[in-house]
Amino acid sequence: MTELILGVITFLTSTIAGVVGIGGGMMLIVILPSFLPLNALIPIHGLTQVSSNLSRAIFGYKDVKVEVIPKFLLGSLLGIGFFMGILSFISLEYVPLFIGIYILLSLWSAKFNEKIKRYENYYLAGFFQTGLSMVVGATGPLTMTLLLKDYKDKNVVVATGAALMSISHILKVFVFMYFGFVFFDYIGVIVAMIIGAVVGSWTGTQLRDKIDGKKFVIILKVLLSALAINVIIGVFI
């Protein structure tokens, strides 16, 4: 019964992510503690997000901007290595606060964008998104915010964002395997969630065509802002 419930929930969250490119994974990680032990939470969420994002990128492969992938991948590898090395020495308690503030300023402040533009690139996005994804649940919006500035086509933003988030989650899964997490112990739940994620990605990709490009940008900006505010509030609660 748990497998069926999680499969349906993953389908719904993956469909949302398929339409607007983000939000599904964050909704899922809020729901999972009711069904899984805490030590299994991030590894299983990460593996499910690999299937959700990778399938979304495959369904929209024609819209993926391949030129940004090597930059993001290099940044991601450096980020994983760096944060694995320092995790035991520093407190990351306030990292979500800075991520939330950055996203809000980046989305709504022209002056901030003018000043930050020279420092924004896919190397840094990969470094922070992937490195911090091991401990912070809200790193996906970092890349989506950058893609929304660089590309106006909704399909390009969603498909490329999915490809980049796939890299983050794949590397994260390898890290958990390295540390000895046994995914096979949860094979029933994982299979159900992967099926839900892939079918949800396909459904979301079909529904995305029904949304006008200008409306899509507004919806994505509002959703990113809501996620950022939620992350900031979470630091203080």
pLDDT given at position 92: 67
Q: Would the pLDDT of 126 be above 90?
A: yes
115-124: list long-range contacts, CB under 8 Å, 24+ apart. 120/146, 120/149, 121/71, 122/68, 122/71, 122/72, 122/75, 122/146, 122/164, 123/71, 123/72, 123/74, 123/75, 124/75
Tokens 């401990």 belong to residue:
135
Query: Into how many domains does the chain fold?
Result: 1
DSSP 161: H
DSSP 220: H
Q: Would the pLDDT of 168 be above 90?
A: yes
pLDDT given at position 137: 57
Cα angle 10-96-6, degrees, rounded to a multiple of 5? 10
- Per the model's pLDDT, the better-predicted residue between 137 and 38 turns out to be 38
Residue 118 domain boundaries: 2-236
| Contacts of 169 by beta carbon, 8 Å cutoff, 6+ apart | 46, 47, 49, 50, 53, 133
**How confident is the model over 32-47, as pLDDT tens digits?**
888 988 788 888 998 9
* Short-list 85, 198, 182, 202, CA closest to 134: 85
Q: What confidence category does residue 23 fall into, taking pLDDT thresholds of 50, 70 and 90?
A: confident
pLDDT given at position 164: 95
- Per the model's pLDDT, the better-predicted residue between 57 and 103 turns out to be 57
What value does the mean pLDDT take over residues 141-148? 85
Q: What's the 3-state SS for 39-104?
A: HHHHHHHHHHHHHHHHHHHHHCHHHCCHHHHHHHHHHHHHHHHHHHHHCCCCCCCCHHHHHHHHHH
- Per the model's pLDDT, the better-predicted residue between 163 and 34 turns out to be 163
- Asked if 196 contacts 4 with a C-beta cutoff of 8 angstroms, the reply is no
Report residue 131 CA to chain centroid gap: 12
Q: Would the pLDDT of 48 be above 90?
A: yes
* Short-list 34, 13, 2, CA closest to 140: 13
- Residues 9, 135, 133, 225: what is their CA dihedral angle, to the nearest 10 degrees? 70
**How confident is the model over 75-125, as pLDDT tens digits?**
999 999 998 888 777 676 777 787 788 888 888 888 887 777 777 899 999
pLDDT given at position 162: 95
Mean pLDDT score of the chain? 88
- Asked if 41 contacts 30 with a C-beta cutoff of 8 angstroms, the reply is no
Q: Would the pLDDT of 138 be above 70?
A: no
**How confident is the model over 65-78, as pLDDT tens digits?**
999 999 999 999 99
- Asked if 172 contacts 130 with a C-beta cutoff of 8 angstroms, the reply is yes
Percentage of residues in the chain having pLDDT higher than 90? 43
What value does the mean pLDDT take over residues 54-59? 95
